[in-house]
């Protein structure tokens, strides 16, 4: 084969070689798993790009990002942890937005639990008996912080503090109730939708805790067009439908 023919063959090969797929790395609050996995699956099918999502408590994710963990997008379950990432100079200017909202609920193991009325006179300690109340870590994980806040506001915290079983994130708290290790737990409404082994027995008054807001932002480590495209897809009508079905409120 002549040198000229070799060059032509190589050129033609470059024309038929498919474009290299890009990877989007997302750090997201654990409570987003089902809905965000569905959004990512659609994006991957439509674009051919891959989406890798790391789920954990927002506090742990924010600290990892600040310490240099490679991530393109951060979705937090609380404003304060996004604030920390932004203060560190790791948020692309003008990309941060309040994406979703949520509510706090009391869940019970199984499907036969009776509903309760949650308010200042609610005897949560009596309901627990000798059992545990599953919560995410109350001093650092957003779901746990919101949960402690509402219990303090309702005057219930001191009575149940010793009965609280703290978990590393809200999904770990949900798992304790799902498996029956704890009879009750405080989680997000969206978490309850995700598990068939729990029942929502009550909803905490909206004025007993700060509004639950999920801010999202593109991070300075984002380098590919796919990163921006997936970030924009988070606010699409298709994504909104998936988040709504999972129990989230749309804020964008």
Q: What is the pLDDT of residues 80-135, one digit of tens each?
A: 999 999 999 999 999 999 999 999 999 999 998 999 999 988 999 999 999 999 99
User: In whole angstroms, what is the distance from residue 82 CA to residue 107 CA?
Assistant: 28
User: In whole angstroms, what is the distance from residue 124 CA to residue 126 CA?
Assistant: 5
- The CATH number of residue 128's host domain is 3.40.190.10
Q: How many CB atoms lie within 10 A of CB 80?
A: 14
Q: Are residues 85 and 31 part of one domain?
A: yes
Residue 2 lies in a domain: no
Q: Are residues 199 and 115 part of one domain?
A: yes
Give the global pTM. Answer: 0.84
Domains contained in the chain, number: 2
Closest CA to 215 of 237, 194, 231: 231
Q: Are residues 194 and 137 part of one domain?
A: yes
- Residues ≥6 apart with Cβ < 8 Å to 110: 180, 197, 198, 199
Residue 5 lies in a domain: no
Q: Are residues 241 and 122 part of one domain?
A: no
pLDDT in tens, the chain (252 residues): 443 433 334 333 334 434 457 899 999 999 999 999 999 999 999 999 999 999 999 999 999 999 999 999 999 999 999 999 999 999 999 999 999 999 999 999 999 899 999 998 899 999 999 999 999 999 999 999 999 999 999 999 999 999 999 999 999 999 999 999 999 999 999 999 989 999 999 999 999 999 999 999 999 989 889 999 999 999 999 999 999 999 999 997
pLDDT in tens, 1-11: 443 433 334 33
Q: Are 132 and 182 within 8 A, CB to CB?
A: yes
Residue 232 lies in a domain: yes
Residue 3 lies in a domain: no
Q: Are 225 and 78 within 8 A, CB to CB?
A: no
Residue 37 lies in a domain: yes
User: Which residue range forms the structural domain that includes residue 85?
Assistant: 19-101+212-250
Q: Are residues 84 and 109 part of one domain?
A: no
Residue where a domain terminates, one of 165, 185, 203 = 203
Residue 177 lies in a domain: yes
């Amino acid at each position: 084969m002549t040198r000229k023919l070799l060059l032509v063959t190589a050129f033609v090969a470059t024309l038929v070689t498919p474009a290299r797929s890009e990877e989007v790395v997302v750090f997201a609050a654990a409570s987003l798993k089902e809905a965000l996995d569905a959004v990512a699956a659609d994006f991957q099918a439509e674009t051919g790009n891959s989406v890798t999502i790391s789920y954990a408590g927002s506090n742990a994710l924010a600290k990892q990002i600040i310490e240099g963990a490679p991530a393109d997008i951060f979705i937090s379950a609380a404003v304060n942890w996004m604030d920390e990432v932004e203060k560190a100079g790791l948020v692309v200017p003008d990309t941060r937005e309040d994406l979703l909202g949520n509510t706090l609920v009391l869940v019970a193991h199984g499907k036969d639990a009776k509903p309760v009325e949650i308010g200042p006179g609610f005897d949560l300690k009596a309901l627990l008996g000798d059992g545990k109340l599953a919560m995410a870590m109350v001093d650092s994980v957003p779901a746990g912080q919101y949960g402690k806040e509402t219990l303090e506001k309702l005057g219930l915290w001191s009575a149940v503090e010793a009965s609280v079983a703290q978990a590393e994130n809200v999904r770990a708290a949900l798992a304790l109730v799902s498996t029956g290790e704890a009879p009750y737990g405080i989680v997000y409404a969206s978490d309850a939708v995700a598990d068939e082994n729990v029942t929502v027995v009550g909803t905490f008054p909206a004025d007993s805790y700060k509004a639950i807001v999920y801010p999202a932002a593109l991070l300075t480590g984002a380098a590919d067009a796919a990163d921006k495209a997936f970030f924009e897809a988070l606010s699409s009508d298709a994504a909104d439908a998936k988040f709504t079905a999972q129990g989230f409120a749309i804020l964008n």
